[in-house]
Structure 1
């Protein structure tokens, strides 16, 4: 299965964008999670399969939004990751820079934008999640042909960027070369695109409407809405999140 990073049209916070298109028949929503877990992984990384499997189990928890970013810096070993993108490697580097480090590695899991742990260390990952919390509620629901996102004001916080992340819930990949040659791997929560929707303002909150068929294009099956602070252009703490899946 070959797929690369997909970007789609942006929408402005507080502005309803209207298309008349068919909506999915049924969906699952997840609101008020305690943690957003971002796994940085690669099909060319021999130590990544245990972390990929752990992310699959985390995605089954009602209090976790799990996302897998496939990086591209392992492609040199002879297998080009079918989901890898430079943007995702850059996101991992940006996290490291925000923590005052120049080191990146796979597999790595980042919890709520503030804690990075080795992605295959089950105990450390679960411990970080158990200590995690998200203070900002994010509402997400179907509204006719649209997906309606509501984020209330909160004067105790600072402005943050609202991100839309699309993903595939599962993909099976037969790896022909590189460190995992000969294996057929099941990957879950695979990020297919990432787009800034605008700024959530702590004084006014935000309401956003998105066209579902336009967003869930390019074989994507799920959507995560992430509200994350930035400092000097680098990612900071995640304040709130929600997800929607066909």
Structure 2
């Protein structure tokens, strides 16, 4: 939550959402494979009354070509009447690290695009513009994929990058029992369950074998990989496995 001004902006964004989504669908290239994957992290909370429109937007966004859309539930709303059943302290710390790096503040809903741009998570048009601007400026860049039981990274990077395996629940329905959203039921998509560091990459071609158990995280039914500069830096590559 970011005070009344943010609430007003979110309401305006909700009113504009339908036409923006339609225009986006018409303008989208037919071949999604030509688009560079972009990571969109939504920092959200079940106790935040401004978050449901952003959560619903992330659900739509995940169906767009080469968008790696994930939900990160934060803990700092837990003291305000409802303990988020999906919140992780690690996600709270990650949000604070982003805010500190960019000289911004941590709030909900907050979207972070490719580790580079922080903005209000419910502002659909602004998020899409950030995605498009990144793709227009970034070029081909490094790639990450799963190939015959191994994670394959390929490309050039300026410095060492962290590789993390992210375990996700693809969809969770939660009935809210307290706080600002009491009595309501919401769906959350691609919710982070756990993250595992896989090592450091310095560019070139890297083949990293994954033991069979790596992709069988308890409570998760989907996985993604994030390759990122240290210290909540820029995301260099990301993808679902």
Q: Would you call these one fold, judging by a TM-score over 0.5?
A: yes
- Where does residue 23 of structure 1 map in the other structure? none
Q: Equivalent residue of 1:179, what SS?
A: helix
- Which structure has more strand as a fraction of its residues? 1
- The CA deviation at 1:132 is 1.9
Deviates most, 208-217 or 107-116: 208-217
- Where does residue 75 of structure 1 map in the other structure? 78
Q: Equivalent residue of 1:138, what SS?
A: strand
Residue 51 (str. 1) matches residue 54 (str. 2):
yes
- Where does residue 25 of structure 1 map in the other structure? none
Q: Equivalent residue of 1:45, what SS?
A: coil
- Which structure has more helix as a fraction of its residues? 2
Kept in 2, the 8 Å contact 1:166–1:194? The answer is: yes
Q: Equivalent residue of 2:95, what SS?
A: helix
Q: Separation in 2 of the partners of 1:117 and 1:95?
A: 11
- The CA deviation at 1:164 is 0.8
Distance 1:189 1:80, change over 3 A: same
Q: Separation in 2 of the partners of 1:131 and 1:120?
A: 18
- The CA deviation at 1:217 is 2.2
Residue 241 (str. 1) matches residue 238 (str. 2):
yes
Q: Separation in 2 of the partners of 1:139 and 1:213?
A: 18
Q: Separation in 2 of the partners of 1:190 and 1:124?
A: 22
- Where does residue 229 of structure 1 map in the other structure? 229
Q: Separation in 2 of the partners of 1:149 and 1:221?
A: 18
Q: Separation in 1 of the partners of 2:101 and 2:197?
A: 19
Q: Separation in 2 of the partners of 1:32 and 1:91?
A: 27
Tell me, which stretches of 5 or more residues in structure 1 are unaligned? 1-29
- Where does residue 211 of structure 1 map in the other structure? 211
Residue 124 (str. 1) matches residue 126 (str. 2):
yes
- The CA deviation at 1:32 is 6.5
Out of 134, 145, 155, which is 1:139 matched to? 145
Q: State TM-score, norm by structure 2.
A: 0.80
RMSD of aligned residue pairs (Cα, Å): 1.7
Q: State TM-score, norm by structure 1.
A: 0.79
Out of 47, 58, 63, which is 1:60 matched to? 63
- Where does residue 195 of structure 1 map in the other structure? 196
- Where does residue 108 of structure 2 map in the other structure? 106
Residue 158 (str. 1) matches residue 164 (str. 2):
no
- Where does residue 90 of structure 2 map in the other structure? 87
Residues matched between the structures, number: 205
Q: Equivalent residue of 1:236, what SS?
A: coil
